[in-house]
């Protein structure tokens, strides 16, 4: 990201803080651009697009990764901050005013609101047709990702923001369908040319947006139970293509900032990716070396710790938008769960991941082909393990744990359990401002 773009985005983000989604009090900043200036000019829309990416790739990824990692035992806390202690204890110890619970919700609502503004602005500002279509696709993609992130973590969600604090909640099934609809809108609007001005301003050689949209279509169709659609979308993703969120000194890698900054980690990865011993992981699996560095450390609750590697060891290291290895695992799972399972296709997709040695990011298991039992249960277990290792710290582990029917949590401080919540409580701030907020899930 260029400094000039940061300046525009910073101006826009200062405006968002003033007019925010759920603000109860408004203030006037004479030095900030007005809402009309931002949303009714070409330059303002591009600045808004940069701002959306900044919010999602910094705060959004921080909360998605951190919350899921601690809740599902991918990682363990290494700090005495109360928000992290509550996150590791889980159950009813996790309060609805916990900073992580509120942070994930508020960040994704902000991304949604900004994306809605971008889509509306693109429809009314005088733009080249390809640029207009591209901006609508970009806003639709980010809004879909934000809805999907909420749906993976909360039992009901908002899919349309409301500045009067009257946002309606919908079921998770409805939310996934809306995310899929938005991604299909994005795909349609990317069918033509990608304009040079759009690409230079927002993609900057880092994001292959067509493949990224198909990757999220594959993910959310799988989560929604649309298995044939998930397979089709996953097959449409070029395995050699990569998309990343890039960082710099002004916008640092958010996981590095939580683990390595000032040598004061808030969490560290657990041994064996946090999986129980029953899965009997192969120590020759190359994903150990990619993501973990051996350590003898133990945290305050007795969890053995490793040192984090992978995408998170430098302040400006890029984080993938999605991982190519997720696609064959989606294909494998969908083939096992569809009404007429195709075990041969599932095994072929599993082996694509197990034997991989040419991953564009270097995530290579380098194992021999699958030789386990040829049953749906055994193959789903193999998919689950490979998702845990392949997609480590990508914010999907809580959705995976529920979907694969891993043992449910029973209460707080049950540190031997594989996850400590099914869904997070709704943030107290949302409840205090929005009368439509549902009752919290029990755990």
> pTM value?
0.93
Q: How far apart are CA 259 and CA 319, in angstroms?
A: 15
Determine the distance from the C-alpha atom of residue 378 to the mean position of all C-alpha atoms in its chain, rounded to a whole number: 27
Q: What is the DSSP string of 291-311?
A: HEE----B-TTS-BB-EE-TT
CATH C-level class of 3-207+243-314+391-423: mainly alpha
Buried b (16+ CB within 10 A) or exposed e, 101-135: bbbbbbbbbbbbbbbbbbbebbeebebeebbbbbb
- What's the confidence (pLDDT) of residue 10? 45
CA dihedral 18, 164, 101, 54 (to 10 degrees): -40
Cα maximum dimension of the chain? 68
Q: How far apart are CA 170 and CA 274, in angstroms?
A: 32
pLDDT digits (tens, 9 = 90+) for 47-98: 999 999 999 999 999 999 999 999 999 999 999 999 999 999 999 999 999 9
**In terms of C-beta density within 10 A (0-12 exposed, 13-18 middle, 19 or more buried), how is residue 4 classed?**
exposed
Count CB-CB contacts under 10 A for residue 375: 11
Give every residue of the chain whose pLDDT is below 70, as ranges.
1-37
DSSP 418: S
- What's the confidence (pLDDT) of residue 36? 64
Q: How far apart are CA 387 and CA 330, in angstroms?
A: 9
Residue 259's H or E segment, with its range, is helix 254-259
């Amino acid at each position: 990201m260029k400094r000039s773009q940061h300046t525009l985005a910073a101006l826009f983000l200062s405006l968002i803080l003033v007019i925010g989604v759920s603000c109860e009090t408004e203030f006037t900043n004479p030095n900030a651009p007005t809402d009309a200036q931002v949303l009714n000019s070409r330059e303002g829309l591009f600045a808004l697009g940069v701002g959306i990416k900044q919010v999602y790739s910094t705060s959004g990824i921080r909360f998605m990764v951190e919350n899921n990692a601690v809740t599902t035992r991918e990682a363990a806390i290494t700090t005495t901050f109360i928000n992290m202690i509550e996150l590791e204890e889980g159950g009813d110890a996790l309060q609805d005013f916990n900073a992580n619970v509120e942070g994930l919700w508020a960040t994704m609502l902000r991304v949604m609101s900004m994306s809605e503004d971008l889509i509306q602005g693109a429809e009314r500002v005088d733009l080249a047709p390809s640029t207009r279509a591209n901006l609508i696709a970009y806003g639709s993609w980010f809004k879909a990702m934000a809805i999907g992130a909420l749906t993976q973590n909360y039992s009901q969600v908002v899919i349309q923001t409301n500045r009067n604090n009257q946002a309606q909640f919908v079921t998770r099934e409805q939310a996934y369908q809306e995310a899929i609809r938005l991604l299909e809108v994005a795909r349609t609007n990317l069918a033509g040319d990608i304009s040079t001005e759009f690409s230079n301003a927002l993609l900057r050689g880092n994001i292959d947006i067509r493949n990224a949209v198909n990757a999220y279509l594959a993910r959310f169709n799988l989560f929604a139970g649309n298995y044939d659609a998930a397979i089709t979308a996953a097959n449409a993703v070029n395995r050699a293509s990569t998309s990343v969120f890039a960082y710099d000194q002004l916008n640092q890698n958010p996981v590095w900032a939580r683990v390595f900054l000032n040598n004061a980690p808030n969490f560290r990865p657990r041994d064996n990716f946090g999986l129980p011993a029953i899965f009997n992981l192969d120590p020759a699996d190359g994903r150990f070396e990619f993501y973990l560095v051996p350590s003898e450390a133990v945290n305050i609750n007795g969890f053995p710790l490793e040192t984090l590697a992978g995408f998170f060891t430098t302040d400006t290291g890029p984080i993938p938008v999605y991982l190519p290895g997720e696609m064959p695992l989606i294909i494998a799972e969908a083939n096992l769960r569809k009404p007429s399972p195709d075990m041969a296709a599932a095994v072929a997709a599993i082996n694509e991941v197990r034997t991989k040695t040419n991953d564009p990011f270097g995530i290579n298991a380098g194992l021999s082909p699958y030789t386990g039992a040829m049953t749906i249960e055994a193959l789903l277990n193999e998919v689950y393990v490979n998702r845990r290792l392949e997609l480590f710290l990508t914010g999907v582990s809580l959705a995976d744990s529920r979907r694969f029917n891993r043992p449910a949590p029973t209460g707080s401080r049950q540190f031997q359990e594989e996850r400590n919540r099914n869904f997070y409580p709704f943030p107290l701030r949302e409840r205090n401002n929005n009368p439509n907020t549902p009752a919290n899930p029990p755990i």
